[in-house]
Amino acid sequence: MAGTVKLVRIGFIGLGAMGFPMMRHLLDAGHDITVASRGRGPIDRAVALGATEADGPAAVIAASDITILCVPNSPDVAGIVDDALGVLSADKIVVDTSTIDPDVERAQHERVAATGAGYLDAPLSGGTVGAERGALTLMVGGRAEVLERARPALEPFAGLIVHVGGPGVGQVVKLCNQLIYAAQMLAVAEASALAEKSGVDLRLLYEVGTHATADCVALRTRIPVPGVLPDSPASNGWAPGFMTDLMAKDVDLVLAYAARLASPVFSAGVVRPVLGAASAAGFGREDFSAIGKVLQQLAGLPAPNNA
């Protein structure tokens, strides 16, 4: 975190698994926080920590200098902007940290800019662990001067903030990140099943792979077999660092955006049905490394102990 944080009035809309710890870091930094969320429980917890509840998204934005959105999908973001247009002005900034369609995001930039307010798309990487640690990576699209004004509201939960380009480019970079990560996870799940069926100790696969050309984040953190990595989701009841259903949503965004650009994304087309099979098997709210359970079943391996 860079230097002394300038205290500002910050709104936070969306107190889910990512949003709540992000909001908590802002409270810990001393900011005045106003919140809204779909669930009653997170709002009550936020108020108990010192936040103020507002009557919906428009009221949050009206009460705040900088408002952060952390919601599931494109319609959610567009709906919040719909509600907020009447309270936006030149002294306000909206920062969307959700992962949504880049073209939808560009439209929100235009709508907000027409009111004189600033807008940034700043999707996140780092999962719930990064959110809890205040070490998220933000890939930011929009005007550089708006980002500089918004930094006090971003730095408390960020490990790295990168201005990647103009409106919507943050979302493009995030989708590229998700494409790579999903493909990594599928390869690690396939390799784990192949090795396990061949009698290879997966701890040794991990040792070799992390010191060889197979090294990647998915291998280091998400071998999808319980007991191999103590901190992996598989060894902790498949608790989600990033849920299967959310990765499926992001891969759908990749496929749709790439189709509009006529850009090939073969790996997305391969991994998406496996994510769908994991969701259909009841693993949708588990960590997306649960696709490994699908691969193990297809390989004829016994289900893991804590399946």
Tell me, letter by letter, the H, E, C secondary structure of 241-274.
CCEHHHHHHHHHHHHHHHHHHCCCCHHHHHHHHH
Task: With respect to residue 304, please indicate whether it lies within any of the assigned structural domains.
Answer: no
Q: Is residue 103 part of a domain?
A: yes
Asked whether residue 120 falls in the same domain as residue 196, the answer is: no
DSSP, residue by residue, 196-258: HHTT--HHHHHHHHTTSTT--HHHHH--SSTTSSTTSGGGGTT--SSBHHHHHHHHHHHHHHH
Query: Do residues 153 and 209 both lie within one domain?
Result: no
Q: Provide the pLDDT for residue 3.
A: 46
Rounded distance between C-alpha atoms, residue 118 and residue 110, angstroms: 10
pLDDT at 2: 42
Task: Provide mean pLDDT across the span 73-85.
Answer: 97
Q: Among 240, 224, 232, which Cα is nearest to 307's?
A: 224
Do residue 198 and residue 91 come from a single domain?
no
Average pLDDT, the chain: 96
The CATH number covering residue 229 comes to 1.10.1040.10
Residue 1: the pLDDT is 40
Are 145 and 214 part of one and the same domain? Answer: no
Is residue 10 within 8 Å of 64, Cβ to Cβ? yes
Considering 132, 166, 200, which residue would you say is the last residue of a domain?
166
Q: What is the pLDDT of residue 4?
A: 52
Does residue 215 form part of some domain? yes
Choose the final residue of a domain: 107, 132, 166: 166
What domain range is 46 assigned to? 9-166
Q: Is residue 180 part of a domain?
A: yes
pLDDT 10s digits, 239-273:
999 999 999 999 999 999 999 999 999 999 999 99
CATH of the domain at 120: 3.40.50.720
Q: Is 303 domain-assigned?
A: no
Domain boundary among 148, 166, 184: 166
Q: Do 176 and 160 reside in the same domain of the chain? A: no
174 is catalytic: yes
In this structure, the answer to whether residues 268 and 252 fall within a common structural domain is yes
For residue 5, the model assigns a pLDDT of 56
When divided into structural domains, the chain yields a total of 2
In a domain, 128, yes or no: yes
3-state helix, strand, coil in the chain (%, to 5): 55, 15, 30
pLDDT (average), residues 35-42: 95
Q: Find the catalytic residue in 92, 174, 249, 293.
A: 174
Query: Is there a single domain that holds both residue 162 and residue 27?
Result: yes
